[in-house]
Structure 1
């Protein structure tokens, strides 16, 4: 039997929801608890049958009730009175519609305490997890509870093992994600990407007596975590143990339920970034597909006050992806590795000196990034963007140390015969094996490149330029030593539209303004702010000279008794301030004018060298070649970004001019033929 036969049957239950007027976006919240219910029942029935077979028919018949309870409890998979004490399951309850409501309520309350909590059987407030109580209440109100439950009871998962049930669960969750991905950045990981991640991990591990501990800090319903574990178990005899944590109530509940049917799997509920439930654990393998572009403002103070030391830098509050990345790295043991799914922003968001760039630099400085793999677009179910696999490895081979491989696998896919929402492509098995082989060989190819990690570093050199006039002069040369400006004592200011001759204003027109403060706010301040000595005539008159800026010469001009002098490139700075009265002066508006050199802060992006002396020489050579104005060095920041477009850019092939002209001629001929036909 193929378990996927039940996929269409499960989704047929949605027809009943549609007929009851329930919106499509709400279907998952109705379907999740019932899927969990039939999953739990199938596992418990199978476990019960295995137990009976192990004990033997005659011996089982003589077991005391308390002994049976303890034997089942020791399995750690849950308990249900109806199944274990009355030998009845959901299909039996659905045989009698008259007693169904009472029997179904007793059936739900017959589960052990933890299962009832996860299903949300009798919770009244607080965490509801799968909230089956709320769903049952709504279905009763619609008068379809019996019909809906009966449809689910027909789904018999008992013949299938953990891996098979997980496969069905992945398909169902995929559709849930497709129709109800209401939270930005929460991307369900498709099965083919999980298979690729598992192949990458499998290529890095070996058979061993040591337990392989696998961790997912944003495990959702567990599809990636358990999917990776199952595929590793298919390839290796090595024992595995899974650990996961998630904040989403219903998805956590699904993962927790699934974990109880796996050997010693541990799933915890809560916000990983605020409360790490595995704070004292380290792991051999980490996997995750953390949310993209999701704000962490709601718990910003907790992150800022975190005492664990896992967050080296705090990225923009609007996107917590790189917080999860830092957390995952902190959870790796001394030779651990991992694969993390991100969107493109984690590669290049943030300028040099930003937290995002510093996080990337810290990761490369630590030599933990072995490769980054670009996946095809249209690969995920509810987004068409490029996604990337970061391959982390604290146990690189010697020839991989201090290097990073970029693999452009954007063309390594097979088109789906039938689209699944936004998903139109899949990384098929042939492509997966080719990608893993490329990673293993760690050599350049037409779609992969290996770089020294410093290739991704760059200098952002800040400089202060001194602008000069057409003769190469700056007003700086006219200043006395130690002075940064020359203050003028103006008698008149003219800008072509208005002339001002009062520079300390203490009185005002009371018919127009209520106070001197109003004069400042409504007239003087806006006027001074509008002055632009480069865009419009601005003449400053003092007792001995006139000053203005000559745009053609790019120089300040001083005219004394008809004689003009070029002072060099500079600025005319006019400021206004409202000052309250003191012992010497009343309330007043003061207007000041000064001449300053024209300085301009600028940044230059310059290739980086890991050798300090060589790096400084590179910066100096760049400045000598490209900067012609006088300048002074300011701070130098080293940034890091990984730009796939720059490395794998393929220019679009343009048609030859002769071919374009021939095509135009053909179109013109066709138009003439049409015109001739119309005129007949």
Structure 2
């Protein structure tokens, strides 16, 4: 008999009719999801329930402490329950249903009980009991047949995913943070498996591992398993994940438990500061980390690892700006790659546009991109349509990263522009108005697999995304004049003002301030004696005059005061002589400093002679300041020039509009 999982999901969700009024619509899932898990576990354990309880008595009589492995074998599952209650027993005692249900949950083995704890199910039991709804909800779920002889693990997984989707729709926040559209995941999995589909993944009895460091409700893990089974029914995919949000963690772990996966592989906590799969390596990885979320809460742990462990840790390549941890997730995932000698790894991750180009040369983001690209890890980037996700309408990109590129892809990066591959949804969900059809997914995957240049596909060398940021200097040219106006500017110079300040206290401070004021006046007197209309266009000449004047007045010209005077009495002047440093070299003018990004494949001196020198002949490159940067200007590579409309057409339109406006005005005036 074919089971329609949506019909069962509809029936389960109808429990919401009981909750209406006592629960907000966005909170329905907090009751429905854990009760669905509980009912499924109850049905799965029913055939072995009595045998487990009998076996437990025997073990206790023999004073055996470590009973879990024995009871799992007796239950023929990865979990068991040692409470005397089940759903029928709960309904038999309506007056004590809250206490009995709590006892029942406490009887589960660790992983199953852990799920209920992170669902905060005790709070829901109390809330339902206070609203006199608990018995009705238990009764409703007891009527739902979720026995494994009727509904296998895969179908149960579909039912639970449908309930998760509905819960996500009720709350935009939950959908945005913890739910990735299924068709996006499907595309990511296809891209991930594409290079292996005709070889390794077809082998009989093959076992592979997959990891998501921000697994949310587990959608990526579920879809990956489903796709692999469609390719090879004999394949086994062991899934691992870690999640920070308690409710999402509970949902994910429950989903894995219901599908027959080992729920202990799903971990709770922050993947950066508390990596609970620290020493694990995986064949495949998938993730949709939150976009543009700051990592300030884990800054100390991340910076310590970066500074103390370098490339021996996860974040050796660099740290992105504090308000976007996207590239931290990518580095974390790369650290989980298997060595090439052990088969290597492949990963796919969803980003917004920021990781493509944010950060100048030698910044954290640029250095991370440089490390990934120079190590030949970036295989492809796919630009997705906008309005594809539930909580944002922005453009997104799938990065495919691997340490085992095929021979034809080595040293290359493929960019795929799939922004036009979408269909409008009949009904919007939050910001999600577009979706990928199966035909779109197949075509994007085909373009990726073909690895050929075309309308939607461009192929580049790794070095094409690198550049050298050169610092172009021009000489400092100043004129100097001792005038009342420029002398007034000296009074605003810090070195001059600080002469009449003191950090001391009391009389000592007063004395120091008075001495400082006297010194200020002495300096001003010397300068006032030099007042004239003469304009000096050579700094060395003016410094010589200045020093002679101070010497004649019997005063010392301290270096900080000389610097302050030169700054106040000078103006930039293109006709003045070049200012030279102590070694006789031209001194650069910070205000005329400029920067040029030179493609990594091009010689910076040839570029300079061609692009800079003809326009500013006195410029030079400060070689010590040259930096290497990497960015991926995706949009630029697919830009198509659209010529403006002919002027005659525009003029004709303007005439038509003018006539229409005139007629409207005539009507108003009449």
Normalization by structure 2: what TM-score? Answer: 0.77
1:192 alignment partner, one of 159, 180, 183? 183
Distance apart, 1:418 and its partner CA: 1.6
Residue 329 in 1 paired to residue 334 in 2? yes
Note the alpha carbon deviations across 1:530-583, whole angstroms, 9 max, x for none: xxxxxxxxxx9553453xxxxxxxxxxxx44xxx554489999xxxxxxxxxxx
Structure 1: any 5+ residue segments left out of the alignment?
Answer: 53-58, 121-128, 469-473, 476-485, 508-513, 526-539, 547-558, 573-583
Partner of 1:605: 596
| Superposed counterparts of 1:47-126, under 5 Å | 48=46, 70=71, 73=74, 75-81=76-82, 88-89=86-87, 93-94=90-91, 97-98=94-95, 100-120=97-117
State whether residues 105 and 113 of structure 2, in contact with CA within 8 Å, keep that contact through their aligned partners in structure 1.
Answer: yes
Structure 2: any 5+ residue segments left out of the alignment?
Answer: 60-69, 502-508, 521-525, 544-554, 571-578, 580-587
347 and 156 in structure 1: CA distance in 2 versus 1, 3 angstrom threshold: farther
19 and 140 in structure 1: CA distance in 2 versus 1, 3 angstrom threshold: same
Partner of 2:238: 241
| Superposed counterparts of 1:140-159, under 5 Å | 140-158=129-147, 159=150
State whether residues 220 and 246 of structure 1, in contact with CA within 8 Å, keep that contact through their aligned partners in structure 2.
Answer: yes
Partner of 1:459: 468
Task: Give me the CA root mean square deviation.
Answer: 4.3
Residue 399 in 1 paired to residue 408 in 2? yes
| Greater mean alpha carbon deviation, residues 221-230 or residues 369-378 | 221-230
CA distance in 1, matches of 2:512, 2:278: 59
631 and 95 in structure 1: CA distance in 2 versus 1, 3 angstrom threshold: same
CA distance in 2, matches of 1:118, 1:136: 15
Partner of 1:222: 218
| Superposed counterparts of 1:249-260, under 5 Å | 249-260=246-257
Partner of 2:387: 378
| Secondary structure of residue in 2 paired with 1:593 | helix
Residue 212 in 1 paired to residue 211 in 2? no
519 and 374 in structure 1: CA distance in 2 versus 1, 3 angstrom threshold: farther
Note the alpha carbon deviations across 1:639-672, whole angstroms, 9 max, x for none: 1111222112234564443333333333344445
Note the alpha carbon deviations across 1:81-139, whole angstroms, 9 max, x for none: 57xx67x536x74577545445434433343344223202xxxxxxxx11101122223
280 and 112 in structure 1: CA distance in 2 versus 1, 3 angstrom threshold: closer
CA distance in 2, matches of 1:637, 1:174: 48
Partner of 2:565: 593
State whether residues 284 and 345 of structure 2, in contact with CA within 8 Å, keep that contact through their aligned partners in structure 1.
Answer: yes
CA distance in 2, matches of 1:296, 1:498: 45
1:139 alignment partner, one of 121, 128, 131? 128
CA distance in 1, matches of 2:40, 2:345: 36
State whether residues 493 and 501 of structure 1, in contact with CA within 8 Å, keep that contact through their aligned partners in structure 2.
Answer: no
State whether residues 80 and 111 of structure 1, in contact with CA within 8 Å, keep that contact through their aligned partners in structure 2.
Answer: yes
| Secondary structure of residue in 1 paired with 2:241 | strand
Distance apart, 1:629 and its partner CA: 3.6
Partner of 1:45: 43
27 and 619 in structure 1: CA distance in 2 versus 1, 3 angstrom threshold: farther
State whether residues 371 and 405 of structure 1, in contact with CA within 8 Å, keep that contact through their aligned partners in structure 2.
Answer: yes
Residue 310 in 1 paired to residue 314 in 2? yes
Distance apart, 1:493 and its partner CA: 3.6
453 and 544 in structure 1: CA distance in 2 versus 1, 3 angstrom threshold: same
State whether residues 458 and 638 of structure 1, in contact with CA within 8 Å, keep that contact through their aligned partners in structure 2.
Answer: yes
Partner of 1:358: 367
CA distance in 1, matches of 2:167, 2:359: 33
617 and 651 in structure 1: CA distance in 2 versus 1, 3 angstrom threshold: closer
Structure having the higher helix fraction is 2
Residue 166 in 1 paired to residue 157 in 2? yes
CA distance in 2, matches of 1:185, 1:515: 64
Note the alpha carbon deviations across 1:1-54, whole angstroms, 9 max, x for none: 32122444455444554512x4455444x23xx4133234325524655x79xx
569 and 604 in structure 1: CA distance in 2 versus 1, 3 angstrom threshold: farther
| Secondary structure of residue in 1 paired with 2:367 | helix
Note the alpha carbon deviations across 1:42-83, whole angstroms, 9 max, x for none: 25524655x79xxxxxx999997769983655634322357x
Partner of 2:274: 275
CA distance in 2, matches of 1:9, 1:571: 92
Partner of 2:637: 647
Distance apart, 1:407 and its partner CA: 0.7
CA distance in 2, matches of 1:179, 1:382: 13
Partner of 1:529: none
State whether residues 452 and 458 of structure 2, in contact with CA within 8 Å, keep that contact through their aligned partners in structure 1.
Answer: yes
465 and 171 in structure 1: CA distance in 2 versus 1, 3 angstrom threshold: farther
State whether residues 184 and 293 of structure 1, in contact with CA within 8 Å, keep that contact through their aligned partners in structure 2.
Answer: no
CA distance in 1, matches of 2:221, 2:331: 19
State whether residues 39 and 142 of structure 2, in contact with CA within 8 Å, keep that contact through their aligned partners in structure 1.
Answer: no
CA distance in 2, matches of 1:61, 1:379: 48
Distance apart, 1:454 and its partner CA: 1.2
CA distance in 2, matches of 1:500, 1:243: 67
State whether residues 38 and 155 of structure 1, in contact with CA within 8 Å, keep that contact through their aligned partners in structure 2.
Answer: no
State whether residues 247 and 270 of structure 1, in contact with CA within 8 Å, keep that contact through their aligned partners in structure 2.
Answer: yes
Note the alpha carbon deviations across 1:613-651, whole angstroms, 9 max, x for none: x35433454332454443341411111111222112234
Partner of 1:5: 7
State whether residues 357 and 640 of structure 1, in contact with CA within 8 Å, keep that contact through their aligned partners in structure 2.
Answer: yes
Partner of 1:663: 653
CA distance in 2, matches of 1:14, 1:387: 35
State whether residues 185 and 293 of structure 1, in contact with CA within 8 Å, keep that contact through their aligned partners in structure 2.
Answer: no
Normalization by structure 1: what TM-score? Answer: 0.76
| Secondary structure of residue in 1 paired with 2:351 | strand
Partner of 2:21: 19
CA distance in 2, matches of 1:14, 1:268: 30
Aligned positions, number = 591
CA distance in 1, matches of 2:323, 2:141: 41
CA distance in 2, matches of 1:499, 1:319: 44
184 and 12 in structure 1: CA distance in 2 versus 1, 3 angstrom threshold: closer
Structure having the higher strand fraction is 1
CA distance in 2, matches of 1:8, 1:291: 30
CA distance in 1, matches of 2:468, 2:227: 43
State whether residues 3 and 164 of structure 1, in contact with CA within 8 Å, keep that contact through their aligned partners in structure 2.
Answer: yes
Note the alpha carbon deviations across 1:249-284, whole angstroms, 9 max, x for none: 222222223333434462222221123222222111
